[in-house]
Chain A
């Protein structure tokens, strides 16, 4: 099973690196952001479930815990991308925090640490040792800081010196949002393969998605309101560029729609929470919504090539999907309902 997951990872990684080296703009960034978010997010959920002794993750546990090779892929991919670091305007006037070397170094180190802890946690958890809990906690720390720095460094620093202190938190909330959506997919596949029967815990995943959409909306509003109300030109410029000037501005409306309005309203009903169709749609919308948002962050401030964006996404997303599929297929029938 390891080999099965390592190989595609390597392939995808190579393709991605090549793409990154060929391009000189930010085209590969969205893919990098997405995969970093979803994989780290899934692990975060696994860790949380482990600590909370949440039973609801059990069926897909193995699958998730076998994702760590993809986490190792991230530092490599990031290094390749950082060849195009000049897409950040601050590189013309580096500061202490924003100097290319420090920038690249700290991110690579953090990605490696995150991978290491995820690896350790997977090992410990699967062989059920005590150290798992401790590693889970450490991973949670790593996850939070890593996603925060991904937010601040990879995305926010495009609009230097604009800052939003919640940006980091917003990112790891979204990462877990994606994680939950993935979990929902896994649950459905497991049920489809008859390896688990519909039960309370699938509902729980849906309920979590429901709650998360509200939480996410809160995070979004908390940032928007402060900037909208403060009316400080430098801050408003960030929003103006994206929702007033951006070529994608019409699509901006999709973000709250896909990530909050639709999930929240539909999942109000208990029936929807149990329905495969609904959950498939919702989980997909979450993925699309987050991806659009990532694009929207970058488009006004850095050039991207549509084809490369898609190819890069395939290069990293492909292995990810494959590994999950493999994992689920190799899961043996679990005791108890999902």
Chain B
């Protein structure tokens, strides 16, 4: 897909603001100058802007596809170095934040009775200015925000300096405290380096949830899937099951808190490539294989296998992170991982400090606690809380904020922190405002407004500038920053600076000392409560987005609400059943959790989504200042009552049913129906002339991340059903990630959508021709002809059809988030995946104008486009040079329920017994 072919940029003439001019009319002028796509482009033309996703700190590049002056779809920017076209489900769904009904629409001030009352921007800002002036009398002003980089970080420092505001370290739940501390100890670099997994041939991840929330999930997904191409061998060791774990060739469960023992064993038993100083080695306890087994629970065979693989590998790479560095043993784990990287010669290439993530301004919760203690004694004047969805991790912070003379919240939702605020300033969404993000050293990407703000919101930068009474507006400020860097913010979507290789030297003495001091002999007492990374909600900040709640968690298949996932054995021992609402001792809080009993989960580990950590006050690790995400010795309290979980999976056992590409059951002596081979019939399967649209999905590459699902929802205007409907199994998703238990991996993920059958059982039974087989091989669905007999759905063996039980709800302004190319289905009609027929039509029209047929890769479906690991290809099966043809005719190809003779157009690829040992 050639982006340049269709990308159109906003032409914005910098509207110089009279320094004195009020902010309101500054806004006016700025956005008058923004072009209004409605006028410049016909309504049926897509307007595409390049910008950067800010839903999480990863900073992926996105293309904003707009129609009629409103963005309706986000897609990964194929040129962006981080994601190269992929985009995770949070990114896809982030439009749901922009159009959220509960978004703050105007400045609010706390009324006498404590309720929120509207207030004008000028009044609000004047109040702040006055408060700042008053605070000169000895009281301290503080500014706390979530991770801030690039121009805004710059401006914040200036703001702090000019208005005597202390800028507190940025608050992030994922602060990578242990890693940064460890690298500081080892090499004097308090940083999160870049891990180039794509260049490794052996990857050993210890708790690092590469695909959920660790540093940059989309990039990792792409790199790992590239790695698989050249047979990357991947060992993943973790205490509790994660989506990442299910994808590793070898997924090994170890006892929570025993990671340092395993790494120590590995360090001692593997041949070092570049030998470590004796002093350091002495600090590492000698661990025999028996001890290692006893501590970690990893069998000697597995241990030996791991060591063997490590020694055999040319470029082994070990990454510690996630829950494994978020407990008392976190620092030694991180240290040992660093030492292994050093000894395997990975530092400097595979582990690259040159492209280290920019976490300069981010503090650990631990650091913040110290600051709070110090602030608690002082009297706080103005307290700014910017872009924060929680203060819970930092004990006492809420109180400090509450006690301040004036607490100002810069936010888009009434997140819990706003309870401490006196004044709320609604900040524009990143699609409504300028800015930039320095994700890692050497890469800054532009945040560029795609359209005029929906509500009376202002960019954080403009607020600061106004308070500073500085000339020019935020856009100019950003532009100046870029000019200084010799770039043009109008033209360039991102700026890559050459990075200098960083020379590192292992600091033996501090390493040895710190290892010795931080070494914790005892592992956590089981059962352990672990806060699993959430691919849906990151650290909880994304939970406000309704779409993300609608899409089930890939592991548990639970959509709405929290659930405590436990293994079947635990359920038996604790004598609880699925749906029981229980108390968890460790949390102490009055929170109760419905139990999800899951056969694939590990014994003696209870896992809870990370989003819950955003509300619970978790303990903090003294060594690293990081949140503790593994709590030992928990007990399940009393069962309060029973709840119906919104589990969207009827059953995870598909053995012998021919759904998964594993052995299809056939009675003895009956040979399986061999793929691609057309069986004898009483009448032939329809032929196709020019096109037979088809899809191929590589299950080895599919991580289960559900980005495709989110993409499909947004692209096709699929309505949100909500929890009550989900309990009745009435979800509307056109594509779903089906989790299956299958000896091969802990969980197999299988994206299933309408299979566009050649002999579609659904078509014949429709009395009114509302669905039929079109000449391109699509199983067309004519919404306005459908009378809603639901016969087609009954007769679809893939259950890919969705019925509109009610009229879909789109609370204003969500009604703006509608793809005008796709009709919104009324109540009572059937709907389903159409292979994004609107895109097909667009491409065919375009081809027709140029009087040719559609070229391979000229366009693709929303799901395929969004897939971070490139597991889905779409195209014309009749074109023998097409990618999909190659995939569909490769080895180990399989179609679901092939024995039924429906001749589906969706092909699934999977190596048999990938990862010889499967999940241990």
Contact = CB atoms under 8 A, between A and B. Distances in A.
Q: Do A and B come from one complex?
A: yes
Interface of A: 89-90, 92-93, 95, 160-161, 228-229, 231-234, 236-237, 239-240, 244-245
B681 A95 contact: no
A234 B897 CA distance: 13
Given A231-B759, A233-B899, A233-B901, A161 B680 contact: no
13 contacts: A89-B669, A90-B669, A93-B669, A95-B667, A160-B667, A160-B669, A161-B666, A229-B764, A233-B673, A233-B680, A236-B679, A236-B680, A236-B901
A119 B340 CA distance: 91
Contacts of A240: 680-682
B682 A161 contact: no
A161 B899 contact: no
B682 A239 contact: yes
A159 to B, nearest CB: 10
B681 A92 contact: no
A232 B900 CA distance: 5
A231 B903 CA distance: 11
A100 to B, nearest CB: 14
Interface of B: 666-670, 673, 679-683, 759, 761, 764, 899-901
Given A92-B669, A95-B667, A161-B667, A237 B680 contact: yes
Contacts of B673: 233-234
Nearest to B759: A231
B901 A161 contact: no
A89 B670 CA distance: 10
A237 B901 CA distance: 12
Contacts of A160: 667, 669-670
A93 B666 CA distance: 12
A92 B667 CA distance: 12
A95 B680 CA distance: 27
A236 B679 CA distance: 9
Contacts of A228: 682
A256 B680 CA distance: 23
Contact of A236 (B668, B669, B670, B681): B681
Contacts of A239: 682
Given A233-B679, A233-B901, A244-B680, 15 more contacts: A89-B669, A92-B669, A160-B669, A161-B666, A232-B901, A233-B673, A233-B681, A234-B899, A236-B679, A236-B680, A237-B680, A240-B680, A240-B681, A244-B682, A245-B680
B762 to A, nearest CB: 12
Contacts of A90: 669
A161 B681 CA distance: 17
B669 to A, nearest CB: 4
Which of B673, B682, B759, B899 is most buried by chain A, counting CB atoms within 10 A of its CB? B682
B668 A93 contact: yes
Contacts of A95: 667-668
B679 A237 contact: yes
**Top 4 closest pairs, chain A to chain B, by CB:** A93-B668, A233-B679, A93-B669, A233-B901
B798 to A, nearest CB: 15
Interface of A is mostly: helix
Nearest to B666: A161
A234 B672 CA distance: 11
Contacts of A161: 666-667, 670
A232 B680 CA distance: 10
Nearest to A233: B679
Nearest to B681: A236
B901 A231 contact: yes
Contacts of B761: 231
A233 B679 CA distance: 6
A87 to B, nearest CB: 14
Contacts of B668: 93, 95
A73 to B, nearest CB: 33
A95 B759 CA distance: 32
A80 to B, nearest CB: 26
A190 to B, nearest CB: 46
Given A231-B759, A231-B901, A236 B682 contact: yes
A328 B683 CA distance: 50
A239 B681 CA distance: 9
A112 B899 CA distance: 40
A233 B683 CA distance: 11
A136 B145 CA distance: 93
A231 B670 CA distance: 19
A232 B673 CA distance: 11
B672 to A, nearest CB: 11
B508 to A, nearest CB: 69
Nearest to A93: B668
A160 to B, nearest CB: 7
A312 B815 CA distance: 80
A89 B683 CA distance: 27
A231 B669 contact: no
Contacts of B679: 233, 236-237
Contacts of A232: 899-901
Contacts of B683: 231
Nearest to B901: A233
B764 to A, nearest CB: 7
Contacts of A231: 681-683, 759, 761, 901
Nearest to A92: B669
Contacts of B666: 161
A236 B685 CA distance: 13
Contacts of A234: 673, 899
Nearest to B685: A231
Nearest to A237: B680
A247 to B, nearest CB: 16
Contacts of A236: 679-682, 901
A240 B683 CA distance: 10
A93 B679 CA distance: 23
B101 to A, nearest CB: 48
Contacts of B680: 233, 236-237, 240, 244-245
A160 B764 CA distance: 28
Contacts of B681: 231, 233, 236, 240
A51 to B, nearest CB: 40
A335 B668 CA distance: 61
A230 to B, nearest CB: 8
A223 to B, nearest CB: 13
B13 to A, nearest CB: 64
B665 to A, nearest CB: 11
A90 B666 CA distance: 13
Contacts of B669: 89-90, 92-93, 160
A229 B669 CA distance: 26
B773 to A, nearest CB: 13
Nearest to A245: B680
A220 B383 CA distance: 85
A160 B670 CA distance: 8
Nearest to B669: A93
A95 B667 CA distance: 9
A237 to B, nearest CB: 6
A256 to B, nearest CB: 16
Contacts of B901: 231-233, 236
Contacts of B682: 228, 231, 236, 239-240, 244
A228 B668 CA distance: 26
Contacts of A237: 679-680
Nearest to B678: A233
A231 B899 CA distance: 11
B902 to A, nearest CB: 8
B430 to A, nearest CB: 52
A234 B679 CA distance: 9
Contacts of A89: 669
B872 to A, nearest CB: 28
A232 B897 CA distance: 11
Contacts of B759: 231
Nearest to B667: A161
Contacts of B667: 93, 95, 160-161
A231 B681 CA distance: 7
A338 to B, nearest CB: 45
